[in-house]
């Protein structure tokens, strides 16, 4: 069973190569499937999301490659879609229809303080902005901010029904153990509450390798402790490399696969045709 990549960026958002260049590299690496998941347009200025006016050409380009490489590489249409709140986000169903999407990856990069409904706390990017945003949006109250991050994931799962959740504990990346520890009781409890909701909804959690291969964090998103709990709760799992450049397409995949096998994960979620299937993890062989 060759590699796959269902969470993949291109130059339609903050990726560094064209859809076609990604496809060519995927073929070279012997991939069987690539799903394109540019950051969906958001209702405010960012440097990383796709512009609204480019959505149609994005879908056209993915469709063109899908036809061109038919029989060699299965290519799917997706978006990594941000969720803030039902009043501040574009419904996922709108994108599902506009983009004739095969699936949607839901993510939270921006956290809203519902008591203010003002500026959003941006989790990604430089560490200084994480601190500044925490002060500005949550008066520095990390417990409140992180709890709200998980509340947004919960609300996203319940109201938007994404197929997959991107890097579900990414809120820890820029924390780097400074403001809180993942061992604290309140953190464990909001994590457990969130996992219970995800398990009930049957949404897939990806094991995102990007933080590790970019040297931004020492564990996958989510970490091994959370992954073990996902396995206990029968939450479907998959591996996402979240490549923003063709050279990253298989970065960290084998390591994540080995870890999942050791942790006792029985199967991986794999998109094929029109739906997600579970494939036995032992059928997924590392290429190296």
**Minimum CB–partner distance for residue 93 and Zn ion (Å):** 20
Residues facing 240 on adjacent strands: 208
**Minimum CB–partner distance for residue 8 and Zn ion (Å):** 8
Q: CA angle, corner 55, sides to 150 and 65, nearest 5?
A: 105
Which of 223, 226, 234, 240 minimizes the C-alpha distance to 201? 234
Which CB sits closer to Zn ion, 54 or 196? 54
Phi, psi of 101 (to 5 degrees): -75, 145
Q: Which residue is nearest to Zn ion (CB)?
A: 242
Q: Which stretch binds Zn ion (CB under 5 A): 128-136, 159-167, 177-185, 271-279?
A: 159-167
Q: Please name the residue ranges forming H helices in 99-206.
A: 127-138, 142-160, 185-201
Beta carbons of 17 and 11 less than 8 angstroms apart:
yes
Which CB sits closer to Zn ion, 169 or 242? 242
Q: Would you count residue 5 as binding Zn ion (CB under 5 A)?
A: no
Q: Which residues ranging from 98 to 127 are in contact with Zn ion (CB under 5 A)?
A: 107
**Count of CA atoms in the C-beta half-sphere (13 A) of 3:** 26
Q: Which residues ranging from 68 to 87 are in contact with Zn ion (CB under 5 A)?
A: 80
Which CB sits closer to Zn ion, 51 or 185? 51
Which CB sits closer to Zn ion, 182 or 248? 248
Beta carbons of 116 and 105 less than 8 angstroms apart:
no
Q: Would you count residue 182 as binding Zn ion (CB under 5 A)?
A: no
**Minimum CB–partner distance for residue 67 and Zn ion (Å):** 25
Which CB sits closer to Zn ion, 15 or 236? 15
Q: Which residues ranging from 196 to 255 are in contact with Zn ion (CB under 5 A)?
A: 242
Tokens linked to 220: 């996958």
Beta carbons of 42 and 82 less than 8 angstroms apart:
yes
Please report, as ranges, the residues that interact with Zn ion according to CB under 5 A.
80, 107, 166, 242
């Amino acid at each position: 069973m060759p590699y796959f990549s269902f969470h993949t960026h291109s130059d339609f958002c903050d990726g560094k190569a064209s859809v076609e260049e990604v496809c060519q590299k995927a073929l070279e690496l012997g991939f069987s499937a690539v799903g394109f998941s540019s950051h969906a347009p958001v209702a405010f200025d960012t440097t990383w999301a796709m512009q609204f006016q480019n959505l149609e050409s994005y879908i056209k380009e993915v469709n063109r490659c899908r036809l061109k490489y038919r029989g060699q590489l299965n290519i799917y249409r997706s978006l990594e879609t941000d969720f803030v709140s039902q009043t501040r986000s574009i419904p996922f169903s709108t994108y599902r229809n506009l983009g004739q999407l095969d699936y949607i990856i839901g993510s939270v990069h921006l956290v809203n303080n519902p008591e203010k409904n003002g500026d959003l706390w941006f989790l990604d990017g430089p560490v200084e902005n994480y601190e500044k945003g925490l002060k500005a949006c949550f008066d520095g109250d990390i417990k409140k901010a992180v709890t709200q991050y998980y509340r947004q994931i919960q609300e996203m799962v319940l109201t938007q029904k994404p197929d997959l959740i991107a890097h579900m504990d990414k809120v820890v990346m820029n924390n780097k153990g400074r403001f809180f520890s993942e061992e604290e009781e309140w953190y464990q409890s909001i994590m457990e509450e969130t996992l219970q909701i995800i398990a009930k909804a049957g949404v897939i959690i990806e094991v995102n390798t990007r933080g590790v291969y970019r040297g931004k964090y020492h564990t996958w998103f989510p970490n091994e402790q959370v992954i073990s709990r996902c396995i206990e709760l029968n939450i479907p799992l998959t591996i996402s490399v979240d490549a923003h450049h063709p050279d990253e397409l298989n970065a960290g995949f084998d390591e994540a696969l080995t870890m999942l096998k050791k942790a006792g994960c029985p199967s991986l979620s794999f998109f094929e045709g029109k739906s997600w299937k579970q494939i036995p993890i032992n059928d997924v062989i590392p290429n190296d």
